Amino acid sequence: MLEFPRWKYFLIVIVIALGLLYAAPNLYPQDPSVQITPNRGFAIDAALNQKVADALKTAGLAPKQVATQDNNLLVRLTSLEAQTKANDALRGALGDSYVVAPNLASTVPAWLRKVGAKPMVKGLDLQGGIHFLLQVDQKAALDKRVDTYVEDTRVTLRDGHIRYSGVERRPDNSIVVTLADANDATAARALLAKNLQASGGSASAQLVGAQALTYAVNGAVITIGLPQAELQNIASNAIEQNITTLRNRVNELGVAEPIIQRQGEDRIVVELPGVQDTAEAKRMIGAAATLEYHAVDETGSVADAVNTGIVPPGDKLYYQRSGVPVLLVKRVIATGDQMVGAQSSVDQNGQPSVSVTLNNIGGQRMFDFSSANVGKRMAVVYSESIPEVKLVDGKEVHSFKVNEDVVSVAVVQSALGKQFQTTGLQKDEADNLAKLLRAGSLAAPMDFVEQRVVGPSLGAENVRRGIEAVVYSFLFTLVFFAVYYRVFGLITAVALLLNLVIVVAVMSVFGATMTLPGFAALALSVGLSVDANVLINERIREELRHGMPGKAAIATGYEKAGATIMDANLTGLIVGIALYAFGTGALKGFALTMVIGIFASMFTAITVSRAIATLLYARRKKLQSVAI
């Protein structure tokens, strides 16, 4: 009558073991710390350690630990107040040679990290930091792409020796080509369809964008149309490229677990947990960057240029990211604005490389240079203009600081066109270079429409209050159920505890961000689990009142209440999914925690509690009463 399959017991044991394992990292508090990352030409060495020690001693701070971690120097401190003081002291002592940023260092044991166990990511409201809301100018991105189509059209017709009297863009973003001779219309249409196909759209939507173009011929006039789907694709890809660019830039701040995601049609949310310097964050995020291809001067002396400071006319001295100097010709071969794609790949010998695709203009310039310089070297330069604000005579003076470095130097193996490969790289270098080439510059300008700063002390207070709310709700429920339902109340308490463990473990495994609304959803999941157990317990009591034997009442109670629980939680799941799909920010965090909690509550209420009840009562041959 009261039976439970053995395989379900094994399943429950496995789920509980995994839940405890992957929830355990959340018991280890994070250390307030300061992360130091060397800029180009600098390294983590004994001299840096001494500077750090002297700066901390001068500030009257005693660190818990100073150690190298992932090519960074991590200074662990005892409190958030000490972290703030250490951050200010180290920035002043190290200057621009190193990137100094506050961080939260994990104290999770190595054996847990080896199995992929990690604590939940805390949102901005729980650990402090900076929140930015950026508005992307999609119209500027659209104008830029359509203007590229216009210029590519002119170059294609010139290269094809087809005479035309005009190429203009219409307000509806169509392109009208007026030919000098109507007899060339068929050939011109075929040539444009072939060439614009390779240069349309962005790297991720190149083929989609190309196939979306339409061509209409009316005498000597060819109208190139960009359907609405292509225009939307251009605008959407501009946001995606900006998000990738922002991720690259945020990495320079040394932020642990940044949140960069799209919001709505044309906005991007950037959350930097642990960061308190708004000016530094805005400087990095709002910087303008581009990429340029230059020829390497094979005749000039790099050593003389470095030692004397005298650079040959027409050249400029650059430094590679490894710190090696190189002389480059000032004339630009092609720029990142002319790039439509970059992917890491392998060459004919199976070695890592980067496949690059330029538009028609950049492709022609690249062909002209490479065909005349086979066997010589070419460099890729990453140039970044960073806005600066300085006080001069008590007034703010806005200026730009330009940082330039060489990300790659490669030998030209043959004449290159719009598509070519950069070789001679390691696998990780190829991946990083492709990422840089794709996201070296913003596809569209952005404006800061909102910014908020949450202090670390407020975040700590939110964590304390959130934990208290969940703990008190759990304890109150446990006491009430133990008194009201007796043994089945204790079974319910065990199910509630496992529910919390499973929710925390799942959120930790998938890297979900826990926010203050997430704590509310966690408390709500306790309530949902309570609701399911109440339905089961009351059904069992009802069957007992009708005179049904104890074992049969328990079995019937779980079977009859199961369908009701499924129906009730289904409506909650629909609401949670809708909130996650259409909500933003805090709503997403609430919805995600609630959905996970619903699944966990159904499992613990229907499966786990029944397994415990079966263990307690199934073997009693003459069950006189049930403690419920």
pLDDT tens per residue, range 396-409 = 565 556 678 787 88
CATH of 6-25+460-617, one of 1.20.210.10, 1.20.1640.10, 1.10.10.10, 3.40.50.1820: 1.20.1640.10
Which residues are CB-neighbours of 339 under 8 A, at least 6 positions away?
291, 356, 357, 358, 359, 362, 437
Neighbouring C-alpha atoms within 13 Å toward the C-beta of 291: 27
For the domain spanning 138-234, the CATH number is 3.30.1240
Measured between alpha carbons, how far is 400 from 387 in angstroms, rounded to an integer? 4
Q: In 407-515, where does DSSP find H-type helix?
A: 427-439, 456-509
CB 450 within 8 A of CB 299: no
User: Which CATH code fits 286-441?
Assistant: 3.30.1360.200
What confidence score (pLDDT) does residue 548 get? 85
Nearest alpha carbon to residue 431 among 495, 322, 346, 504? 346
Beta bridge partners of 135: 267, 447
Query: How confident is the model at residue 21, as a pLDDT?
Result: 93
User: Would you state the pLDDT for residue 13?
Assistant: 92
CB-CB contact of 368 with 315 (8 Å): no
Instruction: Output the CA angle 87-90-95, nearest 5 degrees.
Output: 120
The full set of domain ranges for the chain reads 6-25+460-617, 31-105, 138-234, 286-441
> 104: helix, coil or strand?
strand
Q: CB of 581 within 8 A of CB of 595?
A: no
Question: How many angstroms separate the CA atoms of 291 and 336, rounded?
Answer: 5
Sign, CA dihedral 452-455-458-464, equals positive
CATH superfamily for domain 31-105 = ACT domain (3.30.70.260)
What backbone phi and psi angles, to 5 degrees, belong to 158?
-65, -45
| Spans of the chain below 50 pLDDT | 198-211
**Residue 22 pLDDT:** 92
Q: Which residues pair with 397 in a beta bridge?
A: 390
CA-CA-CA-CA torsion sign (324, 252, 288, 398):
negative
Count H helices, E strands: the chain?
A: 18, 22
> SS3 for 577?
helix
3-state secondary structure of 126: helix
Measured CA distances, 42 to 2, 71, 280, 433, 501 (Å): 71, 12, 20, 21, 45
